[in-house]
Structures are given as C-alpha cells and as structure tokens.
C-alpha cells in the first residue's frame, strides 16, 4: 500500500450541498437572502465554506480537493469556487442526504485514483484551533494505512450532553497517545434519547464530528453492505440525463444513520480533545461559538454586527 504521506493519493471532499434550513432565519438576517449557512459569511467576513477550504488547504493538493454541491445553490458558490476546476465540483441535481452525495463523490474520485484515501469534511462546522484540527487529520491520514478495511472518525471530546449530535462509545485502545489516541468503536448512536445523552456524557463517549477518513474502497464496501440499492442504482448512471432521473427517484439517505450506526465493528475513532469543534446547526451553537471566540480574541467575530440578543430571538 502507498504511504498516505504522499499527497497525490489524499483526497479531501467538502460536503456543501445541504439546505441549511435550521439556521436560515439567522443567515437571512446576515446576508439578506436565503442562502444556506455554508455560503453565509458568519465569521470574519468569510463564508463557512471558505473557512473549511482554508482549514484543510495545507493537507490536500488543490487538484485533490472536491466539492459536493447542489445545483440550486450555484448563485451562492459561483464566486467562492471560481478558481476550482470543473472536475473538482460534483454538482448534484438536488440534495438527497450525505450518503448519496458521498457515494457520487467516491465514484468521481475513484475514476481518477482507485487507491485514493478520502477524507470527508462538512462545510458548516467551526473550530477554535485550526492547527490542532489539522494535526488530528494528519495523524488520521497516516494511521488509516494500518486499518485498510475500517473507516476512521474524528470524535470530539463532549463538553455537555448534546441531544442532536451523534455519539461514539470508544472501545479498546489501538494506539495510545496523550494527544490523539486511536480506539475501536464499541457502538455508535445517532441523536440518542435525552435521558441517554446524559449517560453517554458521563461515560466519556465522544461526539461524532462526521469528519470521516478511509480508503475509497472501504467506503464503497460499507455503502454496498448497508444501502445496496443506492449503489446498484448509481452503477446504472452514465449520463447527465440518467443522473437527473436517479436524483428524482432516490430517497434521501443519511450516512450516519444508514451506515455508521449499522457497522460499528468497521469503525475506529481518533479522540479530538483540543480543537474546539462545533457543528453550527442551531442559533444557540452560533451564539456559543461567538462567545468563545470573543473570550479568546477579545474582538467581534460575527459579520454584520448581529447581536447575541438577535441570535437568541431566532426560532429554531
């Protein structure tokens, strides 16, 4: 197997095809239109997609960085991705969930590199420490070579019993480290019941950041094992017209629910205790990040002078 230190086989995929409906009232106040949150300049005048792209740029070659997008959002990402070649933009006819987007991107990547090591990154997340995040990703890319049939997830150390995150129960230790320990996954929960979230927090379980890394072939194997109808249907797509029909007929599929929860024995987790990860899925979390950034920098972080009281007033 090739070494993952060779960046020619490293592929980063930014998932940016979501509709961002839960945060739309806030993003409309900031941008003045109905753009999804990943295209909204929440922090420092840059969109979350821009932030994500800058965050991973030192890790992946530009021609090995792929963007999963939705055609309906073209007016929002056109200027942000003007310097990206067409072959690195996977334009979906619609939003059909993360599993469908990932399967399509994997096909595009494997057509160019069958030995690809692929890392998927949501484009609506925030990190207080980008350097710490990159260190974890580098460790993960190097470690996955030893576990070619597994998928590796970055698991953030939980700060409270969040109800809307996926949770990971770590198993036995594979690589002991004070900074980035690598562990088997005993079980994976997607948005557990409120009472159980408290239990998971007390037991030291981790948040699923959805940053998922593995050989392209391992992703395909797990998709074929859990959602075979998706993979069979995609195999029959050979033209733009067939892709249109495929998206018209396929139901949305969530990768965490449909794949990760069903195959924990194929998962490993790298503990991330210091990057300060947050999924910006609600106004409350945006407000929390705003406060934490202000504590660190002592300056206003949100574009457009949106106040914390305005954020609180947004109905989730």
Does 1 map to a domain? no
Q: Which of 209, 13, 192, 19 is nearest to 97 (CA)?
A: 19
Determine, yes or no, domain membership for 14. Answer: yes
Q: Are 276 and 127 in contact (CB under 8 A)?
A: yes
Per-residue pLDDT of the chain (316 residues; tens, 9 = 90+): 454 456 789 999 999 999 877 788 888 888 888 899 999 988 888 999 999 999 999 999 999 999 999 999 999 999 889 999 999 999 999 999 999 999 999 999 999 999 999 999 999 999 999 999 999 999 999 999 999 999 999 999 999 999 999 999 999 999 998 888 999 999 999 888 888 999 999 999 999 999 999 999 999 999 999 999 999 999 999 999 999 999 999 999 999 999 999 999 999 999 999 999 999 988 888 888 877 776 665 544 444 445 555 555 554 3
**CA triplet 14, 19, 300: central angle to 5 degrees?**
75
| pLDDT computed for residue 296 by the predictor | 61
Q: How many domains does the chain have?
A: 1
166 inside domain: no
pLDDT confidence of residue 290: 79
Specify if 246 maps to a domain: yes
Domain membership of residue 296 as a residue range: 7-160+172-187+206-313
Output phi, psi for 171, to 5 deg. -110, -140
| Domain presence at residue 2 | no
Closest CA to 23 of 40, 44, 47: 40
Look up the CATH number of the domain holding residue 118: 3.90.550.10
pTM of the model: 0.91
Interval 171-206: pLDDT, tens: 999 999 888 899 999 999 988 888 899 999 999 999
């Amino acid at each position: 197997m090739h070494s993952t230190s060779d960046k020619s086989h490293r592929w980063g995929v930014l998932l940016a095809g979501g509709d961002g409906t839960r945060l739309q009232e806030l993003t409309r106040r900031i941008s003045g239109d109905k753009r999804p949150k990943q295209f909204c300049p929440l922090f420092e005048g840059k969109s979350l997609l821009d932030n994500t792209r800058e965050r991973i740029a030192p890790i992946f070659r530009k021609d090995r960085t792929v963007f999963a997008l939705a055609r309906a959002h073209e007016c929002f990402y056109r200027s942000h991705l003007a310097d990206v070649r067409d072959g690195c933009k996977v334009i979906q006819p619609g939003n059909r969930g993360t599993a469908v987007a990932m399967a399509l991107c994997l096909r595009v990547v494997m057509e160019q590199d069958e030995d690809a090591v692929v890392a998927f990154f949501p484009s609506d997340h925030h990190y207080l420490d980008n350097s710490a995040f990159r260190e974890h990703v580098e460790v993960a890319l190097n470690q996955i070579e030893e576990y070619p049939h597994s998928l590796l997830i970055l698991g953030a150390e939980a700060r409270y019993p969040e109800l809307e995150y996926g949770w990971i129960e770590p198993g036995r230790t594979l690589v002991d480290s004070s900074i980035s320990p690598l562990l088997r996954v005993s079980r994976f929960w997607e948005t557990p019941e409120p009472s159980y979230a408290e239990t998971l927090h007390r037991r030291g379980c981790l948040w699923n950041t959805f940053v998922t890394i593995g050989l392209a072939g391992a992703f395909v194997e797990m998709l074929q094992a859990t959602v075979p109808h998706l993979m069979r249907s995609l195999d029959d797509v050979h033209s733009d017209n067939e892709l249109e029909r495929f998206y018209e007929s396929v139901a949305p599929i969530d990768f965490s629910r449909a794949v990760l929860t069903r195959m924990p024995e194929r998962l490993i987790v790298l503990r991330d205790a210091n990057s300060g990860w947050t999924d910006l899925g609600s106004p409350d979390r945006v407000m929390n990040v705003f406060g934490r950034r202000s504590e660190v920098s002592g300056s206003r972080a949100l574009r457009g002078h949106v106040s914390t009281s305005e954020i609180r007033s947004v109905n989730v």
